[in-house]
């Protein structure tokens, strides 16, 4: 398949490389000067998109997505698939999809879960919104870049699934870190805490798969000095997107709002920038009530 790939950063670069390694003809573009094995570099996004059957974008935010879309949609061939893997606001995803559809394209919003390791290893999960035909065309590419792709419904629903999932993750990680800090102060051994909670009603991905306490449970960023697997600032981005969507949908999400505010304080007012989102545990350990 002939593929255009725009946005060759920490996530997009390995994804494009995996597609090229699988035998697809990949032409890429990025604002930075990058070199990706197997990927032919274009001078612009429009050049990368010209003649491609599928154009994939992996971009930082909705504003940039809208600008790139305005550039590449006129260059794309009718019937091609515009596959956006960025995590952006639902409104931007739906606006870009509408513009693409008006131009005779299929449009998919397909944000990912799995981080840089998942991008390199081809084990990402894709949450996909858009039409059935576009999903069918892109499915073989999802199978190369990831281990699972869930079709969540019409355009924008991929973003909706991603931000709802990560709102749960942000809230449960805070609760897990609070509970470990409280257990410490009550004199409860961390291993005993893990053994109880991981096999009882406190079970969650945050404790069972990604425990924020070093030396307890499976290997996690806590065992590597909280070097990010999923950076706190990226969690903050997703929680802000969730609250933006909640405001637009008139949804009451007090726990999501509280999580957003705590991560904003952690990242912008404390030492959370550049640390894993599970580094909330040492934060709570160092704090007193009030």
Q: What tokens does 19 get?
A: 């597609």
Decide: helix, strand or coil at residue 5.
strand
Q: What is the Cα–Cα distance from 68 to 44, expressed in whole angstroms?
A: 10
Q: What is the Cα–Cα distance from 143 to 123, expressed in whole angstroms?
A: 9
First CA to last CA distance, the chain? 58
How many other CB atoms are found less than 10 A from the CB of residue 247?
A: 11
Q: Tell me whether residue 148 is one of the annotated catalytic residues.
A: no
Q: In terms of residues, how long is the chain?
A: 290
Cα Rg, the chain, nearest whole Å:
20
> Of the listed 162, 227, 237, 288, which one is catalytic?
162
Measured CA distances, 186 to 175, 190, 229, 286 (Å): 16, 11, 29, 15
Catalytic site positions: 162
């Amino acid at each position: 398949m002939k593929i255009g790939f725009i946005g060759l950063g920490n996530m997009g670069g390995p994804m494009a490389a995996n597609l090229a390694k699988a035998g697809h003809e990949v032409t890429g573009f990025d604002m930075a000067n990058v070199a990706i094995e197997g990927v032919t570099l274009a001078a612009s996004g429009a050049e990368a998109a010209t003649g491609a059957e599928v154009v994939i974008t992996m971009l930082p935010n909705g504003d940039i997505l809208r600008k790139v879309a305005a550039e590449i949609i006129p260059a794309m061939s009718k019937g091609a698939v515009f596959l956006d893997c960025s995590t952006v606001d639902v409104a931007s995803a739906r606006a870009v999809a509408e513009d693409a559809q008006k131009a005779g394209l299929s449009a998919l919003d397909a944000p990912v879960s799995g981080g840089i390791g998942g991008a390199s290893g081809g084990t990402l999960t894709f949450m996909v919104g858009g039409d059935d035909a576009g999903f069918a065309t892109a499915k073989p590419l999802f199978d190369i870049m990831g281990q699972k792709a869930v079709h969540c419904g019409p355009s924008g629903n991929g973003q909706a699934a991603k931000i709802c999932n990560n709102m749960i993750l942000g809230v449960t990680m805070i609760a897990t870190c609070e509970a470990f800090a409280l257990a410490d102060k009550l004199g409860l051994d961390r291993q005993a805490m893990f053994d109880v909670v991981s096999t009882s009603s406190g079970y969650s991905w945050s404790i069972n798969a990604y425990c924020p306490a070093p030396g307890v449970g499976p290997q996690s960023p806590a065992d590597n000095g909280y070097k990010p697997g999923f950076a706190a600032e990226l969690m903050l981005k997703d929680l802000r997107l969730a609250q933006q969507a909640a405001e637009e949908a008139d949804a009451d999400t007090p726990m999501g709002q509280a999580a957003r505010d705590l991560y904003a304080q952690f990242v912008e007012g404390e030492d959370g920038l550049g640390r894993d989102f599970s580094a909330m545990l040492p934060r709570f350990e160092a704090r007193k009530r009030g």
